[in-house]
Structure 1
């Protein structure tokens, strides 16, 4: 079953994963939605406010409850039969329309809150966001740069409690780009969504009123130019950089390198010029 959901131009979906509306995240969320709404149709999913259930389980399987097999594949079959749960259907409708996806959350234990991970588990559904069929032209399944949600960009807005040195390339907490690689590459790029550079708010736990105002302005300025920003150039599966018999990056590309940056399409050029 080949999936494809052409987005609606000038539409956006802002997904918030934070439980407190009067928090810094709450202020950034309201500012961001208001700013985008000046020239876009903006939909929202405030996951805590709408009490979104993040647990992928039996109710996602429709009439296939009790059937043996992979849970994600069974959920995809239920979706194909029109039996996805109403809350998932509502998120599918918003995702199908959105040209820009904004995911906003605080960094908890070096990853997104569980409610956002569960939103991905339940809404990036097999047969909706991706499928297992082999593309007859390229010989690869529609994943990593292909899939049901191509022609979309995603902005991740993340608040962190640490500074740029602690949460940096040589910091004790690790590099934030690497920590969120499972989200930018393993989830978004997997279904064809191109990620923009992260929008990071450092030292979020200790910001004063003036600092909050500064971060609000910085987000507004970022959103004002979002249409013209380049996305992260991850490698597409169908371009042949990952031969199907190896299931890994071609040995002739950046031999000996094992860091996550090798999965960027421009990695060779950037390293040669360094």
Structure 2
């Protein structure tokens, strides 16, 4: 199978760098083909702007969505964007690997998403009607592929526990797992997370590598997070709210799990 690792850490000798190298070796040893988009090494341009289209802005002012759509449809995207889209088409599974900085992904990875997820590629696809509101949240260009987050954080696991001060980790990662990955169609696997990253010593790295190896070995068998499909009947369309009889009296991120 084909696996793409989108890696976002500026130091190759970091814990993240070592885990990335381990992941590549483990996956290749299992017979998979691996590509790595090392965003810092690539000097990835993080800002979405008119230069993302080879023709520049279509009108007197730059319109991020419509200019993205025009460039994608006409094959006039910046070469780096088109290249990453080709990698996503090629991949059977995608791993986003990053340190959790300020409760989200590093800016360079967010910029990768904003630029590569062009209108017509990752959003703005499919029929919009009273019964079907676009191919998204379980449908879309990337449907049938798997995705997983590989995340390090300096915080203790208790800090992200059900009553931890940082909030439950599932809630912190929800915008990425549900919004960035499930939205364009990925089957999203439970994340692989390492806590107290600055305290990982040689023994800790061996333990982390062993745990990561087990996850990678079952990358194509692990059950994905059971997010509700937008067009599967659970949501009122076009309001896109859960039907009253589903999870009555409840709200929050958890209601979007079947």
SS in 2 for 1:44: strand
Structure 2 unmatched ranges of 5 or more: none
Q: 2:209 aligns with which of 197, 216, 222?
A: 216
Normalised by the length of structure 1, the TM-score is 0.89
Is 1:22 paired with 2:3? no
Residue 189 (structure 1) aligns with: 182
SS in 1 for 2:139: coil
Check conservation: 2:189, 2:222, Cα contact below 8 A.
yes
Greater shift, 123-132 or 251-260, is seen at: 123-132
Residue 39 (structure 2) aligns with: 47
Q: 1:69 deviation in Å?
A: 6.7
Q: 1:73 deviation in Å?
A: 3.0
Report the Cα distance in structure 2 between the residues aligned to 1:69 and 1:56, rounded to whole angstroms. Answer: 11
Q: 1:103 aligns with which of 96, 101, 113?
A: 96
Q: 1:64 deviation in Å?
A: 4.9
Report the Cα distance in structure 1 between the residues aligned to 2:169 and 2:69, rounded to whole angstroms. Answer: 32
Distance 1:15 1:134, change over 3 A: same
Greater shift, 128-137 or 32-41, is seen at: 128-137
Work out the number of aligned pairs and report it. Answer: 256
Q: 1:155 deviation in Å?
A: 1.2
Residue 12 (structure 1) aligns with: 3
Residue 228 (structure 2) aligns with: 235
Report the Cα distance in structure 1 between the residues aligned to 2:79 and 2:102, rounded to whole angstroms. Answer: 31
Distance 1:251 1:198, change over 3 A: same
Residue 61 (structure 1) aligns with: 53
Task: List aligned pairs for 1:48-127, cutoff 5 A.
Answer: 48-67=40-59, 68=61, 70-127=63-120
Report the Cα distance in structure 2 between the residues aligned to 1:65 and 1:135, rounded to whole angstroms. Answer: 26
Is 1:36 paired with 2:27? yes
Greater shift, 203-212 or 61-70, is seen at: 61-70
Alpha-carbon deviations, 1:33-83, whole Å to 9, x = none?
111112111111000011001111111133251525741232122111001
Report the Cα distance in structure 2 between the residues aligned to 1:114 and 1:136, rounded to whole angstroms. Answer: 35
Check conservation: 1:72, 1:126, Cα contact below 8 A.
yes
Report the Cα distance in structure 1 between the residues aligned to 2:98 and 2:176, rounded to whole angstroms. Answer: 12
Alpha-carbon deviations, 1:4-53, whole Å to 9, x = none?
xxxxxx11101110000001000000000111112111111000011001
Check conservation: 2:130, 2:238, Cα contact below 8 A.
no
Report the Cα distance in structure 2 between the residues aligned to 1:103 and 1:36, rounded to whole angstroms. Answer: 15
Check conservation: 1:131, 1:147, Cα contact below 8 A.
no
Q: 1:259 aligns with which of 245, 252, 256?
A: 252
Report the Cα distance in structure 1 between the residues aligned to 2:50 and 2:37, rounded to whole angstroms. Answer: 23
SS in 1 for 2:101: coil
How large is the RMSD of aligned CA atoms in angstroms? 1.7
Normalised by the length of structure 2, the TM-score is 0.94
Q: 1:246 deviation in Å?
A: 2.5
